């Protein structure tokens, strides 16, 4: 199948338009996602919920995937989005997630691979069960969702994927298995970016530092680098994700 090549020349123009758009009270910069269909995994709380709110504020149709049905369904109802229960480490559930998103809006323009679990432990205390569980969600899950969604994007000749990693350059003491998973996602991101570029699918990764979320609260409360403004940091990350999800200037 011959797929159209991405219009790389359109990206700088779209970026300039977004950066010079009219500010709003809560979001001083709009990145032109109105009308787009954005699927966010791990969307019920924390950084995922912040991304959902930011895309919705721009007028996007948001698909929320999570295993926390109460929070996920409530947020989707609030924002007129679609909530789908999905364990991203289960291929059958991932395939069902993609089918429901396509049935709802007919396409997926943006994927934010944010789902991840956090089981803090020092290196010598990490169990095999915890190691397997973290890699199953944080690496395998993002692989399964990314692959399934990118297939639909490649058929359309456009799309944008944003993977969530972490700043693991100096190791992640107390989170060695999480660091290994995030490093794996960084490499998968680079590979996908090269392989999918000719199909018009853009792939990036976001690597936040220490952010206080419900999943990390018990561990990072002892870390002096995490202040009281993590809610604002999560909102800021939502903006960075929106910027990274730019593909071209067409909404369709």
pLDDT recorded at residue 30: 80
Which stretches does DSSP call E strand in the chain? 37-41, 61-66, 82-85, 110-113, 159-164, 201-206
pLDDT recorded at residue 239: 85
- For residue 107, give Cα distances in angstroms to 44, 56, 209, 239: 22, 16, 32, 23
Q: Are 3 and 199 in contact (CB under 8 A)?
A: yes
46-65 per-residue burial string, b: 16 or more CB within 10 A, e: under 16: bbbbbbbbbbbbbebbbbbb
Q: Is 79 helix (H, G, I), strand (E, B) or coil?
A: coil
CATH T-level assignment (fold) for domain 10-15+33-244 = Rossmann fold (3.40.50)
- Mention every residue, 6+ apart, whose C-beta is less than 8 A from residue 192: 146, 150, 161, 201, 203
Q: What is the pLDDT along the chain (252 residues), one digit of tens a residue?
A: 454 554 545 544 554 444 444 344 455 578 889 999 999 999 999 999 999 999 999 999 999 999 999 999 999 999 999 999 999 999 999 999 999 999 999 999 999 999 998 888 888 999 999 999 999 999 999 999 999 999 999 999 999 999 998 776 666 667 778 888 888 999 999 999 999 999 999 999 998 866 655 555 555 444 444 444 455 577 788 888 988 898 653 444
pLDDT recorded at residue 250: 44
């Amino acid at each position: 199948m011959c797929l159209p090549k991405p219009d790389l020349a359109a990206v700088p123009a779209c970026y300039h338009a977004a950066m010079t758009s009219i500010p709003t009270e809560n979001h001083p910069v709009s990145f032109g996602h109105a009308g787009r269909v954005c699927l966010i995994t791990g969307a019920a709380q924390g950084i995922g919920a912040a991304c959902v709110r930011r895309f919705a504020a721009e007028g996007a149709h948001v698909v929320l995937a999570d295993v926390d049905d109460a929070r996920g369904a409530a947020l989707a109802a609030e924002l007129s989005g679609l909530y789908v229960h999905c364990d991203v480490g289960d291929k059958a559930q991932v395939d069902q997630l993609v089918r429901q998103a396509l049935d709802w809006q007919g396409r997926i323009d943006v994927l934010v691979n944010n789902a991840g679990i956090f089981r803090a432990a020092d290196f010598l205390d990490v169990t095999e069960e915890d190691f397997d569980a973290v890699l199953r969600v944080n690496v395998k899950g993002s692989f399964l969702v990314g692959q399934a969604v990118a297939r639909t994007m490649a058929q359309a000749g456009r799309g944008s994927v944003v993977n969530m990693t972490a700043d693991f350059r100096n190791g992640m003491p107390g989170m060695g298995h999480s660091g290994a998973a995030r490093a794996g996602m960084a490499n998968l991101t680079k590979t996908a970016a090269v392989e999918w570029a000719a199909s018009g699918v853009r792939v990036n990764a976001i690597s936040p530092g220490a952010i206080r979320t419900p999943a990390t609260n018990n561990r990072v409360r002892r870390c002096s680098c995490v202040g009281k403004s993590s809610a604002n940091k999560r909102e800021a990350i939502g903006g960075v994700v929106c910027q990274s999800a730019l593909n071209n200037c067409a909404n369709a």
